[in-house]
Amino acid sequence: MRLEIHHYHHSSELNQLLEGLMSSVNDLKPILDALQSDEATIQAGVAALQTSVTNLTQQLAALQASGGLSPADQATLDAAVAEANTIKGTADTLASSMTPAVTAAAASVKS
């Protein structure tokens, strides 16, 4: 039976490569942490915007239901409600588009 043992002299190169890789990963973590913090701030802002728009829409709907508006006032009110719904839709789209990107980036770093 023959047993061969090999000793590699390139271990210092391998160590340098591994240290460089770990340094890169360590440099990336604060960036991802900052992105997650920014995402949380943006999501909170979008949620607050959605709540404000919902409240405004409900108030405007109650005003419409009161029946005491002139046709010109009603047209202005209808335009305001339409704009509030557009803003809410934009906020919803923004919130839903942000979560997957940051979550995927964080997951790729963890693996």
Task: Write out pLDDT tens, residues 50-104.
Answer: 888 888 888 778 777 877 778 888 888 888 888 888 888 887 877 777 665 555 5
Q: Is 6 among the domain residues? A: no
Q: Is 101 among the domain residues? A: yes
Q: Is 18 among the domain residues? A: no
Q: Is 19 among the domain residues? A: no
DSSP string, 17-75: HHHHHHHHHHHHHHHHHHHHHHHHHHHHHHHHHHHHHHHHHHHHHHHHHT----HHHHH
Number of domains in the chain: 1
Q: CA–CA separation, 57 vs 39, rounded Å? A: 26
Six token digits for residue 62: 């109650």
Q: Does residue 105 register a pLDDT over 70?
A: no
